[in-house]
Amino acid sequence: MSILILIDIIQVVLFVFFLMTGTKIMSGKLADEFKRFGFPSFFNFLTGFFEIIGAIGILIGIWIPISALLAGLLLGCTMLVAAFTLIVLVRDPFKKAVPALILCVLSLGIVIYHTIYNIGAL
């Protein structure tokens, strides 16, 4: 039972974080970063949209596990691309990618949990 509480807490934290950052990205406040990465301007909208949809899905996933699984995949992959972009494409120091990697691991941990304990039980 305590693992379920931890998973719910992680889902709420991911919801808050991705809702805030997704909104910030969609507003254009990080447009300079996306230009620095060499991405076209629509990536601001696309990335922000993915993060907001993922945030909502991860929260709904507290009650509907398949939502958490799908949202966790979306957010985990988004953060993996972010880390890859920072480390490989723009050659930033590894430490700048650590937050994205942590969010990736947390998101994919939600996927694994719901795959094993909810979807696998069906």
Question: What pLDDT score was predicted for residue 21?
Answer: 97
State the average pLDDT over residues 42-66.
96
- What is the pTM for the complete model shown? 0.92
Q: Quick check: 122 pLDDT over 60? A: no
Question: What pLDDT score was predicted for residue 93?
Answer: 96
Q: What percent of the chain has pLDDT over 90?
A: 89
Question: What pLDDT score was predicted for residue 51?
Answer: 98
- Residue corresponding to tokens 């942590």: 102
Q: Are 119 and 81 in contact (CB under 8 A)?
A: no
Listed residue (116, 87, 91, 115) closest to 101, CA to CA: 87
Question: What pLDDT score was predicted for residue 2?
Answer: 87
State the average pLDDT over residues 107-115.
96
The C-alpha atoms of residue 80 and residue 103 are separated, in whole angstroms, by 9
**pLDDT tier at 117 (50, 70, 90 boundaries)?**
confident
Sign of CA dihedral 68, 74, 80, 86: negative
